[in-house]
Amino acid sequence: MSIAAWAAHQARSALEPFSYDAEALGPWQVAIRISHCGICHGDLHLINDDWGVSRYPLVPGHEIIGSMTRCAIPETLDSAAAPFAALHAIMPAVELLSMDEANAAVQRVADNRARYRMVLVNPA
C-alpha cells in the first residue's frame, strides 16, 4: 500500500510531499486512514535533529486522528476513556490547518504562537 505524507528530508528542512510503500500488517497492528495530525515541539526537535536521533526522510506528527481501515488484532479491546471524554466534553485546545500549511504549522510551534497543538487536516 502506498502512503502519502509530508516529510523533512534533512535536518532543519521544510516539509515536502513524500510517499512510500508500507509493509504488510503484522500481528497486533492496524492500518489507519489519518484525517488529522498534531504538530508539537517534540516534532520540531525531531525535524531539526536537536536530539541527534533523527533519520531522514522523517514524517513528523505522532498524535493522529483517523479511521481504522484494516485490523490484525485478534479481538477488539474496549476503552472507557473515549466515552468519558465525550460525556464530559474533554478536549484539548487545537488549531486546525490544512495539510498544505504544514510548514506554517511547524513555524508557529517554533515561534511559540500555537495555542496548544497545531492539527493538520488531511483532505479527503
Q: For residues 54 and 45, what is the distance between their CA atoms, to the nearest angstrom?
A: 9
Closest CA to 37 of 60, 69, 14: 60
Look up the pTM and report it.
0.66
Q: Which domains does the chain have, with CATH numbers?
A: 2-121 (3.90.180.10)
pLDDT along the chain (124 residues), means of 10: 93 96 84 87 95 96 84 60 67 76 88 77 75
Question: DSSP labels for 33-83?
Answer: EEEEEEE-HHHHHHHTTTTS---SSB----EEEEEEEEE--SSPPP-SHHH
Residue 78 backbone dihedrals phi, psi, to 5 degrees: -90, 145
